[in-house]
Amino acid sequence: MNKIKVALLLCLLASGMSLVACGGGSTAEPTPAPTAAPAQEQVAEEPVEAPAQAADTCSETVEIEWWHISTAEAEQAYWQSKADEFIAENPCVKINITVLENEAFKSRLTTVMQSGQPPDLFQSWGGGVLWAYADAGLLKDISPALRGDWQDSVAAKAALDLYSKDGAYYGVPWQWGAVGMYYNKDLFEQAGLDPENPPKTWSEFLDTVQTLKDAGITPITVGEGDKWPGHFWWVYLAIRNGGEDAFLKAFTREGSFTDAPFVKAGEDLLELINMEPFPEGALGFSYGDSASAFGNGEAAMELMGQWHQSVQRSNSESGEGVANLGWFPFPMVEGGAGNASDVLGGGDGIAVGKDAPEEAVAFLRFLTLPENQIQALNDVGFGPPTMVGTESAITDPIQRAIVEARNNAAYFQLYYDQFLPPAVGGAVNDAVEQLFAGVITPAQLAQQIEDSAAMELGN
Amino acid sequence: MDETRMLTGTASRIQANTDKRRAQWNKTVLIVACLLPGFVLLTTFLLIPIAQAMYYSTYNWNGLGPLDNFIGLDNYRRAFSEPVFRGAIKHSFIIMGLSLLIQLPLAMTLALILVRGQLRFQRFFRTIFFLPYVFSEIVAAYIWLYVYNPRGGLLNRFLEIFNPAYAGTAWLTDLDTVLVAIFVVLTWKFFGFHMLLYMAGLQNISREVEDSARVAGANEYQVLRFVTLPMMRDTIALTVFLSILGSFQQFIVVWILTGGGPAFRSELIVTYLYKFGIQRMQLGYGSALAVILFAMTLLFSIGYQRLVLHRTMAD
């Protein structure tokens, strides 16, 4: 009997412990969601607390959870200083900033979204991914606050629309630009090319690539291991070949992604790939690897967004980047239906989660104030700002060229992998990667995207 | 007298019965109490999620909002008609085959050398060989990223010693080498574990049995083939089992090294599941994939236990 009682007690103890062990999770801090590459993840929880004496007068502290992906030190410090300034004026607010590396951010956000608990403010590129969250009721409609002065002060209207669905607004863009060709003027000169006269058409561009190759210079670098850098190439060619019309038809399912311009885009790209203009192993480069190859002067060109200038600098061995950096718009494809001024681009914005307090919206508005954007641009090196009255502050010639391209675009297309539903965006990236790897044909590339689009967008 | 005896007899019988019943009751309580925590954990964290996955797998669902698009078995049909998924299954089988043919024999050889060979630094080598298994898979994968790096990675530098003109290979992005490169990392990571199991198995075999075979005129190969290995049957069966399950469930190393790329050439079942189910926000499809993986591993486990492990136990 005694033995049994002892055993019973032990059992209870064991069961109690195991229950406590699993119950403990709910009382403890939420464990971080699993991410694709935990070792790459940079998580910095930096709760900013209002000064103690001020907090005493608050009946209740409002907490704002904010996730951003500006991992560079100066950028982190800038956001922190803005949070501090806001808290100084609103002592009852506490802002918890979580800084995440890009890829880690994406996987972690997906997880919290599926559990229905978005952060109050978070990085968003707008478009299809954001719209999926909006449809599921995970975002807060900020149009009551936005309508009027705030909305009128947004210069990048096309960008703002990407944060809106069915008349409701879920976020605001704060830096917005265009994808274009960065090039190393010294290497152009070395190959006997005129550095001030970059190629304007696709055939001129292919000639340029050949000239660089003949001079023993790697013409182009691309971070195809991350896939999205390669998708820029195919999408830009699709934009040049088919224009807005072809894309809208395919998107609204009036047409299809197997239509001629999309196949032609693959053929054009394949022609380039067959010239072997990329460094050995580019298929496995991350964007960071590629940016450092460009920054070190190991390749002459890289097709990239507005942030590339600072990234190639910080990723280069010298820390200086390319000495004579140039930028030109993506070349026009002869006979294409698009305009030479059509732009593929995108940028960063901040979206608002469904449970965000009013203070979070006020803080977002504070972040988009023109004077804060100008400071971010000039003191920190962020990309082209989005608000009225900031354009004149842009002094860097490349950034100016990007903003001009953005503002003058007859048709502005957001990156496909953000604009389209996540599954289709993923299919675009994977299909283009397979073209780079030489395992599929341009027609198969178009078909893979179409298959996914038919499933997600309807037939 | 008789009556009293009878009465006491009845009383003691009743007493014995109650005691028995109480003991029975206590036993039941004990069993229930001991089983309950395990049962609760198993149900909440295993059975319910599996049932949920089966339920989700019949919907086209992006993981957000209500389940309102019932599509029956379409997700399963799609999985088996998807060349990328079929490729992922194929790659998982290749990794499995290579593990059984190369990794386990390697582990066995090293175990034999360490236990039966008259080695001087036995413990030192044992530690060295086991070391990779102690690293987490993430650490192992990152170490090998440096080894394989096409821009001055260790492997290419090493090959340059023998051939100064060697231009270097991008091991992880070459479509032909990527799967083998990954297999090398997995072998490096896991052979030490299997080796340790074999060493333990070998230490259980009495030397006298082997010696008597030698006395009877068997040569070293015959001793190994007809005495040592048959006696290791249990251990070998276990490592084969673990190795096969491990190949099906491998994720971390592949994810860090290649993410399943380039062009899906190193996609395994679980990386495919993560990419197409989670990243592309197709939770319904992802659930179907998970159910398929679950069914595969379950059937394999049951079959293997019945056919192989069971027989070993019975021997």
Report the residue of B42, B46, B280 to disrupt the A interface, i.e. the one with the largest count of A CBs within 10 Å: B280
In three-state secondary structure terms, B223 is: helix
Facing residue for B263 by CB, picked from A1, A422, A439: A439
Whether residue B88 is predicted with pLDDT greater than 70 in this model: the reply is yes
CB contacts of A15 in chain B (<8 Å) are: 33-34, 36-37
**Residue A12's pLDDT is what?**
45
Q: Please judge whether A8 and B33 are an interchain contact, meaning their C-beta atoms are less than 8 angstroms apart.
A: yes
CB contacts of A434 in chain B (<8 Å) are: 263-264
**pLDDT tens digit string along B217-269?**
989 899 999 999 999 998 999 999 999 999 999 999 999 999 887 889 999 99
Please give, rounded to a whole number of angstroms, the shortest distance from the CA of B136 to a CA of chain A: 11
Query: How far apart (Å, rounded) are the C-alpha atoms in residues B166 and B144?
Result: 20
From first CA to last CA, the distance across chain B in angstroms is 60
Report the residue of B173, B175, B274, B287 to disrupt the A interface, i.e. the one with the largest count of A CBs within 10 Å: B173
Q: Please judge whether A284 and B62 are an interchain contact, meaning their C-beta atoms are less than 8 angstroms apart.
A: no
Q: Which residue of B has its CA nearest to A434?
A: B263
Arithmetic mean of pLDDT, B185-209: 93
Question: Are A222 and A317 within 8 A, CB to CB?
Answer: no
Tokens of B195: 């080796």
CB contacts of A39 in chain B (<8 Å) are: 138, 142, 256
Arithmetic mean of pLDDT, B116-141: 89
**pLDDT tens digit string along A376-397?**
988 887 889 989 888 888 888 9
Q: Rounded to two decimals, what is the model's pTM?
A: 0.80
- Domains of chain A and CATH, by start: 38-176+345-400 (3.40.190.10)
HSE value, Cβ hemisphere, 13 Å, CA-based, for B197 = 21
**pLDDT tens digit string along A95-126?**
999 999 888 898 899 889 988 899 999 999 99
Facing residue for B33 by CB, picked from A11, A137, A423: A11
Q: Compute the Cα dihedral for A242, A246, A247, A250 and give only its sign.
A: negative
Query: What region, left, alpha or beta, does residue B72 occupy, with left being phi > 0 and alpha being psi -120 to 50 degrees?
Result: left
Arithmetic mean of pLDDT, B290-313: 86
Helix or strand holding residue A348 (H, E): strand A343-352
Q: Please judge whether A18 and B150 are an interchain contact, meaning their C-beta atoms are less than 8 angstroms apart.
A: no
- Beta-carbon contacts below 8 Å between A and B: 116
Instruction: Name the average pLDDT for chain B.
Output: 89
Q: Please judge whether B173 and A18 are an interchain contact, meaning their C-beta atoms are less than 8 angstroms apart.
A: no
Whether residue B212 is predicted with pLDDT greater than 80 in this model: the reply is yes
Q: Please judge whether A39 and B138 are an interchain contact, meaning their C-beta atoms are less than 8 angstroms apart.
A: yes
Closest CA relative to residue A67, chosen from A89, A50, A83, A51: A83
**Residue A37's pLDDT is what?**
38
Query: How far apart (Å, rounded) are the C-alpha atoms in residues B165 and A380?
Result: 45
Tokens of B249: 């469930």
Q: Please judge whether B275 and A133 are an interchain contact, meaning their C-beta atoms are less than 8 angstroms apart.
A: no
**Residue A18's pLDDT is what?**
43
Tokens of B9: 């007899």
Q: Which residue has the tokens 């660089």?
A: A212
Facing residue for B41 by CB, picked from A8, A22, A225: A22
Whether residue B18 is predicted with pLDDT greater than 90 in this model: the reply is no
C-alpha distances in angstroms, B223 versus B101, B213, B217, B226, B239?
22, 6, 10, 6, 22
Please give, rounded to a whole number of angstroms, the shortest distance from the CA of A116 to a CA of chain B: 8
> Chain B interface residues facing chain A, Cβ-Cβ under 8 Å?
26-27, 29-30, 33-34, 36-37, 40-41, 44-45, 62-65, 138, 142, 150-151, 167-168, 170, 172-173, 175, 255-256, 258-259, 261-265, 274-276, 278-283
Can you list the residues of chain A whose pLDDT is less than 70? 1-57, 459
Confidence class for position B120, pLDDT limits 50, 70, 90: confident
**Residue A5's pLDDT is what?**
57
Whether residue B195 is predicted with pLDDT greater than 80 in this model: the reply is yes
Q: Please judge whether B29 and A433 are an interchain contact, meaning their C-beta atoms are less than 8 angstroms apart.
A: no
Arithmetic mean of pLDDT, B285-296: 95
Q: Please judge whether A22 and B26 are an interchain contact, meaning their C-beta atoms are less than 8 angstroms apart.
A: no
Question: Are A134 and A369 within 8 A, CB to CB?
Answer: no
Q: Which residue of B has its CA nearest to A7?
A: B30
Q: Which residue has the tokens 């410090």?
A: A77
Facing residue for A281 by CB, picked from B27, B173, B274: B173
CA triple A434-A438-A443, angle to 5 deg: 70
**pLDDT tens digit string along B258-287?**
988 788 999 999 999 999 998 888 999 999
Question: Are A305 and A366 within 8 A, CB to CB?
Answer: no
Facing residue for B37 by CB, picked from A18, A135, A436: A18
Please give, rounded to a whole number of angstroms, the shortest distance from the CA of B186 to a CA of chain A: 18
Please give, rounded to a whole number of angstroms, the shortest distance from the CA of A12 to a CA of chain B: 7
**Residue A456's pLDDT is what?**
86
